[in-house]
Amino acid sequence: MLMTRGLRRAAVPRLARRYMCATAARRTTTSGLVAPGAGARFHDYDAAVTACVERRALKQGRQVHAHMVTARYRPPVYLATRLVIMYARCGALDDARNVLDGMPERNVVSWTAMISGYSQTGQHAEALELFIRMLRAGCKPNEFTFATVLTSCSGPQSIHQVKQVHSLIAKTNFESHMFVGSSLLDMYAKAGNIQEARRVFDMLPERDTVSCTAIISGYAQLGLDDEALDLFRQLYSTGMQCNYVTFTTLLTSLSGLASLDYGRQVHGLILRKELPFFVVLQNSLIDMYSKCGKLLYSRRVFDHMPQRSAISWNAMLMGYGRHGIGHEVVQLFRSMTEEVKPDSVTLLAVLSGCSHGGLVDEGLDIFDLIVKEQNAVLSIGHYGCVIDLLGRSGRLQKALDLIRDMPFEPTPAIWGSLLGACRVHINVSVGEVVAQKLLDMEPGNAGNYVILSNIYAAAGMWKDVFRVRNLMLEKTVTKEPGQSWIILDKVIHTFRSSDRFHPRKKDIDAKIKEIYVDIKAAGFVPDLSCVLHDVDDEQKERMLLGHSEKLAVTFGLMNTPPGLTIRVMKNLRICVDCHNFAKFVSKVYRREISLRDKNRFHLLTDGACTCGDYW
DNA sequence: TTAGGGTTAG
């Protein structure tokens, strides 16, 4: 009876009503006497709102709120805060904000709940703005506020924002609070300052799985895979507890390193832990095996998954594409459409897979089909893939037309893709137009000069090769330092161009000279257009021999038994001369060579490569 | 009384 006093039954949702009754029963049995009044109504509303918060029941929550308004009930701070939380958790941020703005006084909980609502829906500017309003209103943030607001320090100004929030935190004791510290170090790492992230981590009085995972993830996100792996080993040996997020993070770094042995070991650890099924973790395993060159293992993981997300399919499609297995890309894509809806990444994976797999027309057909049937929103990346497909098939003019007609300003990557096609199809006229665009856009990028020089050299236009070299000398050109690595017995051996400091430099030099004689006898001709320095031909040959991937292949040949595949990784795209070198080594020494460059795998067997000399 | 930290494909 009491519970419906002043509350029309029909207006109160069933869920809320049930909680109201439960509260009434409790109160009746404990006190034995329940008097009607404002106190009773508070508990009814409180229980009802709590039920809605727990169940994310927005509709019922709105009804309870409407009931308060109709009954002219003015909720106290606590209850109004619960309403803010209810709306914020249900994603109804405008309603949450209305309640917050209408509160005669607000506490740290109501401010924080609202900030959290904005953070979790990606409205970071609003979150930060509200945080500032909170400070101006004289409300002191607590550990929850700091942990929340830090997650909104993103975007181009993130490092300054993190530093500002950090200076506020430093005035409190919250810097060593586990959640605040984890959030702080995570944001420093995301903003690119791994040193500061590490400093915060090292200062934490206690560490848990999340804080350890956050710092490892920080190294992984910045591509510092070696450091991520080292830190994991160190923390693991001192008793760090791992969960599925830790393993997912670690697998990302092992993928980057292409460290198959560690990858398998971690997989074994995961199996022994008997963790429940997590899609994200399995997706990481698919990606790790594919980037380690073991597609069959990826497929095995993929096939055994009880559930798959679009990301699982995309990871598998990318894997086939990366290995140049075009027909599997197309076949898997067809199966995918029966199970889940392809997304924009799927289209990228299929287009790039068809391009790398040599299935030009199939790729163009799928592109037309998806664009027509699904009204897909196309990004510049999709256009890049189609331009790549047209370029691969030699339809350079069509590719040029598409660049002119597409609704995006062409980026250097787009022109670069076309320039690569001009090199493969030795098209000087289009190549010159494209190169001019590129040289205007990024005059300091050495790679563009090299490819233009390759084109002239392939066409026998030696005067122009000379002209490009002089052009390059006039500018200050830079090149990301190339490095290659090979993993033998879990030890990573890294080589830089003309590595002078490798402990086995003498042995490697002797072996590479021996290889050079052998492959030259089999018909290898060095491609001097890959060197643009103003030196004589003999010196050019010496410089080419210093390329990091040649050193790594040579080191592999020296240190692995006959018959074993040599697996080498490179951080940039492989150069024409090194590709040719590897082809001859595979033939003369009867060795399969797997070369993973920035974009894809080259599997070289008996003088031929799976990329079909287009990459 | 309550708000909170780490993760996968390109």
DSSP line for A61-110: HHHHHHHHHHTT----HHHHHHHHHHHHHTT-HHHHHHHHHH-SS--HHH
**Which nucleotide has its C1' atom closest to residue A215's CA?**
B6
Beta bridge partners of A492: A487
Q: Is residue A466 part of a domain?
A: yes
Q: Which of A479, A513, A548 is the last residue of a domain?
A: A479
A252 class by beta-carbon count within 10 Å (0-12 exposed, 13-18 middle, 19+ buried): buried
Cα four-point dihedral sign A427, A428, A430, A431: positive
Look at A319 and A47; give whichever has higher pLDDT.
Answer: A319
CB neighbours (10 Å) of residue A377?
A: 9
The stretch A445-456 carries a mean pLDDT of: 86
Q: Is the CB of A216 under 7 A from strand B?
A: no
Tens of pLDDT, residues A81-95: 999 999 998 889 999
Q: Is the CB of A355 under 7 A from strand B?
A: no
Beta bridge partners of A487: A492
The stretch A533-556 carries a mean pLDDT of: 88
A355 shares its domain with A406: no
What pLDDT does residue A41 have? 77
Q: Is the CB of A147 under 7 A from strand B?
A: yes
Please give the residue range of the domain that contains residue A587: 483-609
A472 shares its domain with A487: no
Q: Is residue A386 part of a domain?
A: no
Q: Among A443, A403, A442, A406, which Cα is nearest to A421's?
A: A403
Is residue A14 predicted with pLDDT exceeding 80? no
Q: Is residue A69 part of a domain?
A: no
Distance A108 CA to B3 C1' (A): 8
What pLDDT does residue A22 have? 44
Q: Among A253, A269, A261, which Cα is nearest to A216's?
A: A253
DSSP line for A381-423: HHHHHHHHHHHHTT-HHHHHHHHHHSSSPPPHHHHHHHHHHHH
Q: Is residue A253 part of a domain?
A: no
| Domain of residue A422, CATH code | 1.25.40
- The span from the CA of A148 to the CA of A470, in Å, is 56
* Backbone φ, ψ for residue A487 (5° rounding): -110, 120
Tens of pLDDT, residues A484-528: 999 998 899 999 987 777 888 889 999 999 999 999 999 999 987
Query: For chain A, how many structural domains are there in total?
Result: 3
The stretch A596-604 carries a mean pLDDT of: 93
Distance A282 CA to B7 C1' (A): 11
Q: Is the CB of A244 under 7 A from strand B?
A: yes
A322 shares its domain with A415: no
Cβ contacts of residue A303 below 8 Å, gap of 6+? none
Q: Is residue A428 part of a domain?
A: yes
A526 shares its domain with A574: yes
Strands A566-570, A593-596: parallel, antiparallel or unpaired by DSSP? parallel
Q: Is the CB of A197 under 7 A from strand B?
A: no
The b-or-e profile of A407-437 (16+ CB within 10 A means b, else e) is: eeebeeebbbbbbbbbbbbebbebbebbbeb
A473 shares its domain with A560: no
What pLDDT does residue A39 have? 52
Tens of pLDDT, residues A301-330: 999 999 999 999 999 999 999 999 999 999
* Backbone φ, ψ for residue A126 (5° rounding): -65, -40
Cβ contacts of residue A230 below 8 Å, gap of 6+? none
A348 shares its domain with A417: no
Cα A508 vs. chain centroid, distance in angstroms? 36
Is residue A35 predicted with pLDDT exceeding 80? no
Residue listed under structure tokens 């003498």: A506
A507 shares its domain with A450: no
What pLDDT does residue A27 have? 40
A433 shares its domain with A502: no
A421 shares its domain with A514: no
A457 shares its domain with A503: no
Q: Is the CB of A211 under 7 A from strand B?
A: yes
Encoding tokens for residue A549? 């991937």
Residues 24-83 of A with CB under 7 A from strand B: 50, 53, 78, 81
A510 shares its domain with A442: no
Between the alpha carbon of residue A471 and those of residues A43, A438, A457, A462, A474, the distances in Å are 80, 14, 16, 14, 5
Sorting pLDDT into bands at 50, 70 and 90, what band is A471?
confident
Q: Is residue A405 part of a domain?
A: yes
* Backbone φ, ψ for residue A479 (5° rounding): -145, 135
Q: Is residue A131 part of a domain?
A: no
Q: Is residue A615 part of a domain?
A: no
Is residue A543 predicted with pLDDT exceeding 90? no
Q: Which of A429, A457, A479 is the last residue of a domain?
A: A479
CA-derived radius of gyration, chain A: 31
A344 shares its domain with A436: no
Tens of pLDDT, residues A207-219: 999 999 999 999 9
Q: Which of A452, A479, A506 is the last residue of a domain?
A: A479
